[in-house]
Amino acid sequence: MRPPAKTYCRVCEAACGLEVDFDAQGVPTRLRPDREHPVSAGYACAKGTRFLEVARHPDRVLHPQVDGNRVGWDEAIAAAAARIAGVRDRFGPHAVGLYFGNPIAFNALGLVTLLAFIKSLGTRNVFSASSQDCNNKFAGARLVHGSAAIHPVPDFEHCDLAVVFGSNPYVSQSSFVHLPRGATVFDRLRERGGDVVWVDPRRTESAKRGGSHLAIRAGTDLWLLLALLGRLGAAAPAERTNVAGFTELLELARSVSIEEAAARTLLTPEEIENLAARIAGAGRCAMHMSVGVNQGGFGTMAYVVLQALIWATGNFDVAGGSLIHPMSEVLAKVFSLANLDPPHRSRIGGFESVLGTIPGGVLADEILVAGDDRIRALIVISGDPLRSIPGEARLDQALSALDTLVSIDMFANATAKRADVVLPACSWLERWDFASTTVAFQTGSLIQIAAPVMAPLGESRNDVRILGDLAIALGRRNPLWRLTRLAYERWLPRPRFGFAGLKPRPGGRLAKHGLQLWHASFANELVRLRAVAKPDPTAFTLISRRRRLGHNGWLHGGLRDGDEAATAWMNLADMAELGLHDGDRIEIDTGTATLTIATRGDAGLSSRTIVVPHGLREHNINAMIPSGVPAIERLSGQHVMTGIGATVRAAHSRRLPHGSEASPQMTPTTLRHST
């Protein structure tokens, strides 16, 4: 019998170690946490341990298709290339657009091949899922550190206090950080006498596990961060060599009073003052913000202010604070040499590119609005823009207007179902990989390499070969296509190894590289921030939540975990005011769409906040979010995806019939495009 094999999860940056069990025929039977893994040490979430169910899901696409008919690979590649080339030759390279989701970021050679493929296309119309969740961090890093590749990593393993904004790591790990032994790092923090403060609109599963909770109003984190910086900035180091712009940023922060921040965030002045005192009094404080802040409309400025706060409180480039991994410097040089962040602007909205991509929020208009370089052909790789970008109705119209649509994916998702050519990709269990994305987000020194643990199902192929063959068929004969294909098919690496010394070390970062904490555009951000209407005591704010098995398109709807998926959560007092009880149905109206859904009370939820789960099979919450240029943050192209204004009322049919399922319903006639 084949002995267990080592691999690692490629769902997120955590890259938890996994062991694979096999039956007598060498077929994988189970994925389980690897207790010997030097970083995760036996911790792994259900998204990774149940990925065999995803890889073997009956809905997987296993054969190439052209116009809905099964064909061979040669015919499919030829058909895709002919249709793309026809558009390119007639209308120019920018008439071909490309969208990629985040799974390709955890596919080392696939990502390299994708970047080369994009350059071979010569198009500026490249979109990614990052503009729905983390573009603000790339844009902010470029402003502060001079490169989108350089990000501070919180050292939770050695801090005395952790302050976490907009993250729920016990359910969905966290982003831009590789947590040692997973989210249990916060358990160990409390065991050694430290504490963690969770800043979030609801008392999440992480906050319930332990620590303090501040129930902030969604989308207002920048108010809190500015108030904290204004309160704590006076204690900043007097030596500011290589730290530029702090005086200007501090002046802006001091214009925000504690009372104004409290009114905007719905925290009390005492809560804000207490948090400032705890940060100032902590021996070492590690601070981190994640998607809940990124998507709030001011994520770039929040990321910059957070880094200024880290530095001002003496927690930058020190153990127990925030560290910069040396691999970040390497990646920054690679980005620069390879010109991976070429500056250009979108035709619609004039948004500056981030890492060579323009906002997904303008994709529909880049297809539908007449003019030079209008997109007429679209290639989608491991993504589902129709479901993940707000404005589903408008984008559906746009996809139908394309001359051709090509999908490279494991599943026929909502976008792929509209594709002319579908090219089936393999899962991460079926390919060789190197954890390149993870390295720069960890405090340890591990580098991971994994071999395939199962053969590709059906006729699925790795993205490297698909993109390489497509590039060759398009007449782009680059030796890289052959080299990367050879790497996948011939190399037999060890499952995993580590490089000693490749880890972040305190000290020296400022003297060597410095920080830039001010940009001319920041002054307008405060103007824009104050222009947002003050909280209406009668209005609700809509946010989403991730589920234990809900992550990206591949796990949405495919796996059931017993979660109350089709249920919206409300504050208990708000329910009482509306005369609602658990199980009653409500109507949520954002002005873009109306959702009818069952509700239940949540004692840990901030007032006037309504929470709908992300990734429901029956309903796409992103369809309720306003779309178009006004809904996109100017600094980064990040779409505003949380803190959406809404009205909530009891549905006409208050309770569901006995024995029926609580399926949410969207009113089709209320779908409107915001321009």
Q: Which of 277, 302, 286 is nearest to 221 (CA)?
A: 302
CA separation for the pair 437, 440 (Å, rounded) = 7
What is the fold, at CATH topology level, of the domain defined by 536-670? Barwin-like endoglucanases (2.40.40)
What is the CATH code for 5-55? 2.20.25.90
Q: Which of 207, 194, 130, 193 is nearest to 165 (CA)?
A: 207
Structure confidence at residue 439 (pLDDT): 81
What tokens appear for 156 in the block? 């939770």
Mean pLDDT for the stretch of residues 142-150:
93
CA separation for the pair 65, 662 (Å, rounded) = 36
Q: Amino acid letter at 600? A: R
CA separation for the pair 84, 89 (Å, rounded) = 9
Name the most confidently modeled range: 105-119, 246-260, 435-449.
246-260
CA separation for the pair 333, 344 (Å, rounded) = 20
Strands (E), 58-137: 65-66, 69-70, 96-100, 126-128
Structure confidence at residue 672 (pLDDT): 37
What is the three-class DSSP state of 387? helix
Structure confidence at residue 673 (pLDDT): 36
Least confident of 299-313, 450-464, 549-563: 549-563
- pLDDT above 90 (res 384): yes
Mean pLDDT for the stretch of residues 341-362:
94
Note the pLDDT tens digit of each residue in 194-216: 999 999 999 999 999 999 999 99
CA separation for the pair 221, 230 (Å, rounded) = 14
Percent of the chain with pLDDT over 70: 90
Q: Amino acid letter at 436? A: S
- Characterize the bridge pairing of strands 28-33 and 17-22: antiparallel
- pLDDT above 50 (res 669): no
Within 8 A by CB and 6+ apart from 153, the residues are 176, 177, 178, 322, 323, 324, 325, 440, 441, 442, 443, 504
Structure confidence at residue 2 (pLDDT): 85
Structure confidence at residue 671 (pLDDT): 38
Against a cut of 0.75, is the pTM above it?
yes
Contact between residue 669 and residue 662 where contact means Cβ atoms under 8 Å apart: no
Alpha helices in 146-254 (DSSP H): 169-172, 185-191, 205-209, 221-232, 246-254
Mean pLDDT for the stretch of residues 342-358:
95
Structure confidence at residue 320 (pLDDT): 96
How many contiguous H segments (helices) and E segments (strands) does the chain have?
26, 28
Contact between residue 551 and residue 12 where contact means Cβ atoms under 8 Å apart: yes
- pLDDT above 90 (res 383): yes
Structure confidence at residue 658 (pLDDT): 43
Mean pLDDT for the stretch of residues 75-89:
98
Percent of the chain with pLDDT over 90: 68
What tokens appear for 149 in the block? 């590749």
Alpha helices in 458-562 (DSSP H): 463-473, 479-490, 509-512, 522-531, 552-555
Structure confidence at residue 194 (pLDDT): 97
Note the pLDDT tens digit of each residue in 288-312: 999 999 999 999 999 999 999 999 9
- pLDDT above 70 (res 511): no
How many C-beta atoms lie closer than 10 Å to residue 365's C-beta? 23
- pLDDT above 50 (res 56): yes
- pLDDT above 80 (res 508): no
Residue with tokens 């796990």: 555
Structure confidence at residue 537 (pLDDT): 78
Note the pLDDT tens digit of each residue in 611-638: 998 767 667 888 899 999 999 999 999 9
Contact between residue 119 and residue 471 where contact means Cβ atoms under 8 Å apart: no
Q: Which of 208, 205, 194, 198 is nearest to 158 (CA)?
A: 194
What is the fold, at CATH topology level, of the domain defined by 65-133+331-495? Rossmann fold (3.40.50)
If pLDDT is split at 50, 70 and 90, which confidence band does 549 have? low
- pLDDT above 80 (res 546): no
Evaluate the CA torsion angle 47, 50, 55, 59 in order and state its sign.
negative
Contact between residue 229 and residue 498 where contact means Cβ atoms under 8 Å apart: no
DSSP output for 357-377: B--GGGHHHHHHS-STT---E
Within 8 A by CB and 6+ apart from 84, the residues are 96, 377, 379, 404, 406, 474
What is the fold, at CATH topology level, of the domain defined by 155-325+506-524? Dimethylsulfoxide Reductase; domain 2 (3.40.228)
Point out which residues pair with 69 in neighbouring strands: 66
What tokens appear for 417 in the block? 């179902």
Structure confidence at residue 563 (pLDDT): 52
Least confident of 166-170, 333-337, 543-547, 548-552: 548-552
Note the pLDDT tens digit of each residue in 12-26: 888 889 999 999 999
- Characterize the bridge pairing of strands 567-571 and 609-613: antiparallel
Q: Which of 75, 74, 93 is nearest to 84 (CA)?
A: 93
Q: What is the largest CA-CA distance in the chain?
A: 69
Radius of gyration of the chain (CA): 24
CA separation for the pair 553, 383 (Å, rounded) = 7
Least confident of 54-58, 256-260, 486-490, 639-643: 486-490
> Could you tell me the residue ranges of all domains in the chain?
5-55, 65-133+331-495, 155-325+506-524, 536-670
Q: Which of 661, 669, 635 is nearest to 136 (CA)?
A: 635
CA separation for the pair 675, 661 (Å, rounded) = 36
Backbone φ and ψ for 497, nearest 5 degrees, come out as -155, 165
Q: Which of 201, 177, 192 is nearest to 39 (CA)?
A: 177
What is the three-class DSSP state of 654? strand
- pLDDT above 70 (res 499): no
Structure confidence at residue 548 (pLDDT): 67
C-beta contacts of 369-372 below 8 A and 24+ residues apart: 371/347, 372/347
